[in-house]
Amino acid sequence: MTTPPSSAPTPPAKKSVGWFRTADGKNYAFVFLLVCSLFLLWGVCNGMIDVLNKHFQDSLHLSKAQSAWVQFADYMGYFVMAIPAGLIAIRFGYKGGILTGLVLVAVGALWFIPATHIGSYGAFLLGIFILAAGLPCLETVCNPYATVLGPPGSGTARINLAQSVNGIGWMIGPVLGGYFVLSATGEPIVGNATLFKPYLIIGAVVVLLTLIFAASKIPDLHNIEESKVEAGAGRVIVKPLWRRWHFVLAVAAQFLYVAAQTGIFSFFINYTAVDTPALTVHQAGALQSYANGLHSGFPLIPHTPMTYPAALFDPNDFTNVPALVAKLQNDSDPKTQPISRFIWNQFAATNRNALAAGGIQAAALFDLSTNEPSAALNGQITQKKQSILANGLNQILQTNTLFDAVRASGIVLPDAQRKLVDSEPKGEQLARANRTFLEDTYSANLIARSPYLKGILFRITDRGSSLLLAFGGFLLFLIGRITGSFALRVFTSHRMLALYSLANILMMILTINSWGWWSVAGLFLSFFFMSITYPTIFSLGIHGLGEKTKIASSFIVMSIVGGAIMPFLMGWLADNWGMRIGFVMPLMCFILIAAYAASWRKLEALDVKVEANS
């Protein structure tokens, strides 16, 4: 007698038998706890990746599209090792796969020590690649392993619980990485001297985990293969993987999901630092109080300055660098000459020389390769000079009163600005008064006009954005994982996936549009609705594959190469049309994932291949 196919891998359980006890009565709670430590590990590693985009944009003067090479190196490590990881697990068991992964992660993390001394983008990308090559060995083993460390009916809920621990790692990663490499002020960090430090911590922890797993007993459990038949049919013929559509399209859906997730995570800091509305004094104070509360409650979380005066300069505020440098260096206008001379003399001699240099001389001062096309080289020189101008002028804005009787005798200020200057301003008001004075002194083609001078307004620092990523976005991600684990005990997996994907379509529509705090809320809430997507697609894809589970897991892990490819598209959209438009890419991905989830029951039915009784 045959049994009709199940409609979903996790039907509601009629009687609870515990999450970690198998049919033979063995309890694998301790093994599950060890496996969860690996989920935590790769969450930390992946969370740290998301601060590197903004860091390398500042330290190496990269465009958003160029910074996506970070994700390319990361996910190409996954892609290259995904199939070998499955073969290693088949040949040496789950334990062999875990130890292989841990060794690669340790080597990649410790490579950042020599990479910091080398200092090139390629050296850092190599470290990312090696470290990432170890992660699929862990994921290929741990995702399916979590589903078999207990009764089959709670497999999806168990993997979501493990992924909840992974979510904690995603929260730790940005805080750890951001503390060492992101700016706590409006001025970007332009060096890489401290980049090895968070990876040294990772390397030490991984060496310890390797010793623990080497000494522990890790049983090699297997999934149960389900026959796909119709009621009343004859002999079952098991179809090959490539013809099991619920698996094949799960690979495609995972490609799209990781593309969307990677894009959102990677460019979150860019979005919050630029596209978030300027904060009022009250809002900035509340945000800082939140950060201070986290630091007080969890002292390991470093103190994080969350905002800076919105009046400060951004490097992109200087669109005509040669003209501005010439004005500051040799100002012939008697009205502006005193203030230009004062500003120019505030720059260090080395920076004055760098700003005044051009061509081959400038390339040598900035340690740039002259083998690149002239247009690319000139662009890099301009970016270096823009950073020098922004850093130097922001120092001046916050430490000097530029308007005085001698320097500004030829400048007439509006009454409101004169009143602000005469009030002996400090802090944000000093920066705003000085920026206003400079805009009254120099033309718009030399200094861009700030939209933030009519009130006391603040912007979010890069380090503050990393804290919001960790304890805003990833906290919602973790809450979604935990609540999703229990919801999946009640509702079928494919319906939950469809519902959450539809919600994310709405969140992306909010994020793309300039609707103020509604758009910001959409970005944050997308983390909650992404939470169950990866493990649920994974579980739906390997459902009923039995002994083919390990190699099928490799293909699904390999599909996350979407995170290596699609962020280039998102970065290109952002470079050309703004960061908001970049979120069109994840929007399209979520539409297709929703289609997969809605059709999963029919896809599973297509796996049925039965030979009639003779």
Tell me the per-residue pLDDT of 511-521, one tens digit each, with 9 for 90 and over.
999 898 999 99
Percent of the residues in the chain that have a pLDDT greater than 70, as a whole number: 87
- Mean pLDDT along residues 201-213: 92
- Structure-derived torsion over alpha carbons of residues 409, 415, 416, 420, reported in degrees to the nearest 10: 40
SS3 label, residue 454: coil
CB 478 within 8 A of CB 168: yes
pLDDT value for 457: 87
Token readout for 95 is 């334990």
Which is more confident, 502 or 161?
502
**Predicted confidence band at 289 (pLDDT cuts at 50, 70, 90)?**
very high
CA–CA distance, 273 with 183 (Å, rounded to integer): 11
Q: How far is CA 305 from CA 287, 295, 399, 458, 467, in A?
A: 10, 11, 18, 12, 10
- Range scoring the smallest mean pLDDT among 6-10, 181-185, 368-372, 576-580: 6-10
CB 537 within 8 A of CB 254: yes
pLDDT value for 283: 92
Q: What is the pLDDT of residues 480-515, one digit of tens each?
A: 988 887 888 788 889 999 999 999 999 999 999 989
In order, the DSSP letters of 457-492 are: -EEE-HHHHHHHIIIIIHHHHHHHHHHHHHHTTTS-
CA–CA distance, 133 with 79 (Å, rounded to integer): 8
Q: Does the pLDDT at position 596 exceed 90?
A: yes
Which is more confident, 72 or 6?
72
CA–CA distance, 105 with 205 (Å, rounded to integer): 10
- Mean pLDDT along residues 370-397: 84
pLDDT value for 193: 80
225 has which bridge partners? Answer: 545
Q: What is the pLDDT of residues 302-327, one digit of tens each?
A: 888 999 888 899 888 998 999 999 99
Give burial (CB, 10 Å; 0-12/13-18/19+) of 118.
Answer: middle
3-state secondary structure 85-137: HHHHHHHHHHHHHHHHHHHHHHHHHHHHHHHHHHCCHHHHHHHHHHHHHHHHH
Give which of 200, 198, 178 is closest to 189, Cα–Cα.
Answer: 178
pLDDT value for 252: 93
CA–CA distance, 88 with 260 (Å, rounded to integer): 29
**Predicted confidence band at 52 (pLDDT cuts at 50, 70, 90)?**
confident
**Predicted confidence band at 2 (pLDDT cuts at 50, 70, 90)?**
very low
Q: Does the pLDDT at position 273 exceed 70?
A: yes
CB 27 within 8 A of CB 158: no
Which is more confident, 1 or 456?
456
Q: Does the pLDDT at position 567 exceed 70?
A: yes
- Mean pLDDT along residues 363-381: 78
pLDDT value for 538: 87
Which is more confident, 119 or 5?
119
For the chain, the maximum distance between any two Cα atoms, rounded to a whole number of angstroms, is 106
Of 91-100, 101-110, 112-121, give the range with the top mean pLDDT.
101-110
- Range scoring the smallest mean pLDDT among 45-59, 394-408, 571-585: 394-408
CB 163 within 8 A of CB 534: yes
Supply the angle between the helices 155-181 and 196-215 in degrees, to the nearest 10.
150
Which is more confident, 248 or 152?
248
Give which of 456, 424, 517 is closest to 308, Cα–Cα.
Answer: 456
Q: What is the pLDDT of residues 332-346, one digit of tens each?
A: 988 888 889 989 999
Q: Does the pLDDT at position 611 exceed 60?
A: no
Q: Does the pLDDT at position 224 exceed 80?
A: no
pLDDT value for 237: 53
pLDDT value for 338: 86
Domain boundaries defined on the chain: 29-276+460-611, 315-456
CB 167 within 8 A of CB 43: yes
Percent of the residues in the chain that have a pLDDT greater than 90, as a whole number: 30
Supply the angle between the helices 337-346 and 321-329 in degrees, to the nearest 10.
100
CA–CA distance, 47 with 265 (Å, rounded to integer): 8
Q: Does the pLDDT at position 261 exceed 90?
A: yes
In order, the DSSP letters of 261-314 are: HHHHHHTHHHHHHHTSPPBPHHHHHHHHHHHHHHHHH-TTSPP---EEETTS--
pLDDT value for 540: 87
CB 73 within 8 A of CB 177: no
Token readout for 553 is 């897991």
- Mean pLDDT along residues 375-398: 86
Q: What is the pLDDT of residues 464-483, one digit of tens each?
A: 998 999 899 989 988 998 88
pLDDT value for 13: 44
* DSSP label at residue 610: E
- Mean pLDDT along residues 107-129: 92
- Which H helix or E strand runs over 384? helix 374-399
Interior CA angle at 125 toward 123 and 131, to 5°? 110
Q: How far is CA 236 from CA 242, 337, 547, in A?
A: 17, 90, 17
pLDDT value for 188: 66
CB 493 within 8 A of CB 345: no
Token readout for 181 is 């490499």
Q: What is the pLDDT of residues 162-198, one digit of tens each?
A: 877 887 888 888 888 888 877 766 666 667 788 888 9
- Mean pLDDT along residues 94-102: 90
Q: Does the pLDDT at position 226 exceed 60?
A: no
End-to-end CA distance of the chain: 15
CA–CA distance, 179 with 294 (Å, rounded to integer): 14
CA–CA distance, 525 with 374 (Å, rounded to integer): 44
The single-letter code of the amino acid at 19 is W
What does the buried/exposed string (b/e) look like for 245-276 if buried means 16 or more CB atoms within 10 Å of the residue's CB?
bbbbbbbbbbbbbbbbbbbbbbbbbbbbbbbb
| pTM: predicted TM-score of the whole model, two decimal places | 0.73
Q: Does the pLDDT at position 260 exceed 80?
A: yes
**Predicted confidence band at 130 (pLDDT cuts at 50, 70, 90)?**
very high
CATH of 29-276+460-611, one of 1.10.287.3510, 1.10.10.10, 1.20.1250.20, 3.50.50.60: 1.20.1250.20
Q: What is the mean pLDDT of the chain?
A: 83
Q: Does the pLDDT at position 15 exceed 60?
A: no
